[in-house]
Amino acid sequence: MPTCWLVSEDESHKPIQLLHYNTHILGRGPETKIKDQKCSRQQVQLRADCNRGFVSVKQLGANPTSVDDVAVGKGNQVTLKAGQKLYMVNRLYAYSVLFREDSTSSDAAPEKHRPTKRPRQRDVQEEEDPSPARKVSMSSHAERKSNGSAQAENSTPTPEKESAGHWSQGLKVSMQDPKMQVYKDDRVVVIKDKYPKARYHWLVLPRESISSLKVLRSEHVDLLKHMQTVGRSMVQQCPPSSKLGVRLGYHAIPSMSHVHLHVISQDFDSPCLKNKKHWNSFTTRYFIDSDEVITMLERDGRVSVKEGTSELLKLPLRCHVCHEEQATIPKLKEHLKIHLSS
């Protein structure tokens, strides 16, 4: 099995070995030589998957930890891969991660510039299953502990899916790919969801790096209003005969760390909608309307998510039109045809 090492970019201390699937808590202290009081003694939680070639990074401290240019956010989790930089706090104290084949002793620390085999990355987009927290064992989040995320998935996504700043990096790749773009201006980019949960499903993404709803503040109101305007313009692409309309909104506990506005038709006619979590993430209060998010920012200066929101993903399957309960997704989809044809 390969070994994993966290390497200080300024070589202030020896590389720290991250044992496979072990939890490591790092921050200010003798192990990192960091003395900065803004760095908590328990700043980050790291967990390496040596076989798949990535490290799950969860921010524990109050001040921001970053992976490349993406702030993680307290309580959030992202994925660190070879070639990316982990900044312990406030864009300071840079680290890289090295994976190497254990051809010698596991106690032998690698040299800083030892060549490393970089895992193949894919361009990943929407989550397979928006559960409230990253799921470490799930590849699409190596944190199958449903902190609610589906970083979310329900099917075991590949490690590539959970990579890139927990999808935030994957989204950025998609944003820069002309083949993915359906609209762009100087503030936002619109792409089609790779795993659409309806006939029409777009994501409106700000060019500004914003990790999650938690970090949104009053100064972001104008940007979110612009995202909403752009999203509404996408609705014009839906045929007038579209029976059930379109909603614009955000997942309360998104699986990706880069803020994204969903523009989704309410037919939910898609093979990618496979399970209860998919359904409930768009048809319960887990899905917050764009207008409501903007109102919260204007009124409170922040977005509030009620405790227990992640439990909404476990609710019974109910039709979003007539609220009749259905036993399975296939039966629910069959039931929806009644509303689509009426």
Instruction: Report the CATH number at residue 73.
Output: 2.60.200.20
Domain boundary residue, one of 45, 70, 100? 100
Do 74 and 194 lie in a common domain?
no
Q: What is the pLDDT of residue 175?
A: 77
Rounded-to-integer distance, Cα 225 and Cα 188, Å: 11
The answer to whether the Cα torsion of 11, 17, 22, 25 is positive or negative is: negative
- Tokens for 115? 């060549």
One-character DSSP codes across 208-239? S----GGG--GGGHHHHHHHHHHHHHHHTTS-
pTM of the predicted model over 0.85: no
Rounded-to-integer distance, Cα 275 and Cα 272, Å: 9
pLDDT in tens, the chain (342 residues): 789 999 998 888 999 999 988 999 999 999 999 999 999 999 999 999 998 899 999 999 999 999 987 889 999 998 999 888 999 998 899 999 998 876 544 445 565 444 444 444 443 444 444 443 333 333 333 333 334 433 333 333 333 334 434 444 566 677 778 888 999 999 999 999 989 999 999 999 999 988 889 899 999 999 999 999 999 999 888 877 666 899 999 999 987 768 999 999 999 999 999 999 999 999 999 999 999 999 999 999 999 998 899 999 999 999 999 999 999 999 999 999 999 886
Q: What is the pLDDT of residue 159?
A: 35
One-character DSSP codes across 76-129? -EEEE-TT--EEEETTEEEEEEEEE---S-TT-PPPTT---PPPP-----S-SS
Domain boundary residue, one of 100, 122, 155? 100
Q: Is residue 39 part of a domain?
A: yes
Count of residues for the chain? Answer: 342
Do 12 and 94 lie in a common domain?
yes
Do 84 and 199 lie in a common domain?
no
Do 186 and 270 lie in a common domain?
yes
Domain boundary residue, one of 45, 66, 100? 100
Q: Is residue 119 part of a domain?
A: no
Q: Is residue 153 part of a domain?
A: no
Do 224 and 318 lie in a common domain?
yes
Do 336 and 250 lie in a common domain?
yes
Instruction: Report how many domains make up the chain.
Output: 2
Q: Residue 254: which domain range?
A: 166-341
Please pick, among 141, 260, 262, 278, the residue that the annotation labels catalytic: 260
Q: Is residue 291 part of a domain?
A: yes
Q: Does the active-site annotation cover 201?
A: no
Q: Is residue 188 part of a domain?
A: yes
Q: Are 199 and 215 in contact (CB under 8 A)?
A: no
Q: Is residue 189 part of a domain?
A: yes
Q: Is residue 130 part of a domain?
A: no
